[in-house]
Amino acid sequence: MTPLLDYLKRHQHSMVEDLRRLVEMETPSGDKARLDIAAEAITSYAKKIGGETEVLTHSKAGNRVLARFGWDKRQTEKVLLLTHFDTVWPVGTLKKIPFRVEGGRAYGPGAFDMKAGLVQGIWALRAIGDLYGFDRRVTLFCNSEEELGSPNATVEIKREAHGSGAVLVLEPSQNGKLKTSRKGAGTFNIKVTGKAAHAGLDLTKGVSAIDEMSRLVLSLHAMTDLKKGTTLNVGVIDGGTRSNVVPEEATAEVDIRVPTMREAKRVVPKIMALQRHHHDMRARVEIKGGIVHPPMERTRAVSELFERARGIAGQMGISLGEVSVGGASDGNFTAAMGIPTLDGLGAVGAGAHAKNEHVTIDAMPLRAALLARLIMEV
């Protein structure tokens, strides 16, 4: 561990400068032009450290980047690293929240989620290449649309994960802890169609879509089961035209989180059944959607992978913990394929998607060293 850790500690300043350059490239999800510029920069960097690169182009979504290491050798072991460089921050955020280093922390939009994880991943690969060389095939996948749920990249992620012995996800940690399970996440869109009428003259001749939607909201929220870890949230609702018109249409967007596929198979049919069994049968209810991210469940293989990481961390004098979280990541897709997946291997810090987003600088070489050892041993 000492050569790896010493190497990375010597380059800590360079890691921070790389983070600065990446943060100062604003990369909001959906902004193809800016994402493509960042993809070019990442490709250039990966080439400089010996990676064989491939840019996965897309007509509308931002380009993704693949960097392969050790693929020139006759090795069969495969490890996939998952990262993303898109952020939730709109263009112009840097003017209000510029990158800065203060009190041992690096602040900036996207620094914690998850540009520091990408930087740590690149430096872990650089350290392995400079000190040891690669005795297995390692692929770094840099996603441009993770914050949108990876609608176009999912197929690519699954393709790259196929045949891998492990997938290491460089999403930020949870107070330094690794993520060994994540809830599955889904979205449902509901549309209710009623019948318009004058609210003063012909109230009873109308069918209120808002009234029906309100009852559906109560039914949906009643499906939340905190003991089982299942939650439903109607986060967006719209309907009606004027206060004196019985509303003909209403729409809603619903978020669902489930801890296991078994729970998803129990709840999803209940949601869809609301199309047929609702309050006022004169109204028409249309429900579309489903589970987008399958749950990342803590299997025996995931547990064994975490124990290996904890053992490596212990050799560095670090007590490494694990946690289950409600948010989903690209690791959910690979875990559902049955591939041992370990998440939260990225930055130590806090404030994801918040104005105080920051990274603990001294932890960057430690996390990169931990990742490097995992890459070499899994």
For 157-181, how does the pLDDT look when each residue is reduced to its tens digit (9 = 90+)?
999 999 999 999 999 999 999 999 9
Q: Give the residue from 151, 143, 119 showing the smallest Cα distance to 64.
A: 143
- Host domain of residue 19: 2-182+295-377
pLDDT (tens digit per residue) in 312-325 = 999 999 999 999 99
Write down the pLDDT at residue 76: 81
Same domain, 221 and 354: no
Final residue belonging to a domain, choices 293, 327, 351: 293
Mean pLDDT for 139-154 is 97
pLDDT (tens digit per residue) in 339-374 = 999 999 999 999 999 999 999 999 999 999 999 999
Same domain, 320 and 265: no
Q: Residue 342 is encoded by which pair of tokens?
A: 């370990």
Place of tokens 């959906």: 30
Final residue belonging to a domain, choices 247, 271, 293: 293
Mean pLDDT for 117-128 is 98
| Number of domains within the chain | 2
**Residue 1 pLDDT > 70:** no
Final residue belonging to a domain, choices 293, 325, 341: 293
Band (72; pLDDT cuts 50, 70, 90): confident
Write down the pLDDT at residue 2: 84
Same domain, 250 and 271: yes
Same domain, 135 and 234: no
E strands, 64-223, are 64-69, 78-84, 100-102, 105-107, 137-143, 166-169, 178-182, 184-193, 197-198
Write down the pLDDT at residue 74: 74
Q: Residue 347 is encoded by which pair of tokens?
A: 């930055």
pLDDT (tens digit per residue) in 77-103 = 999 999 999 999 999 999 999 999 999
**Residue 20 pLDDT > 90:** yes
Same domain, 115 and 224: no
Same domain, 205 and 65: no
In angstroms, the CA 187 to CA 293 distance is 10
**Average per-residue pLDDT in the chain?**
97
pLDDT (tens digit per residue) in 213-258 = 999 999 999 999 999 999 999 999 999 999 999 999 999 999 999 9
Q: Is 276 exposed, middle or buried (0-12, 13-18, 19+ CB in 10 A)?
A: exposed
CATH number, domain containing residue 166: 3.40.630.10
Confirm if 29 and 147 have CB atoms less than 8 A apart: yes
Q: What percent of the chain has pLDDT over 70?
A: 100
Same domain, 173 and 229: no
Same domain, 71 and 109: yes
Same domain, 162 and 30: yes
User: Between the CA of residue 330 and those of 183, 281, 285, what are the distances in Å?
Assistant: 12, 40, 32
Write down the pLDDT at residue 129: 97
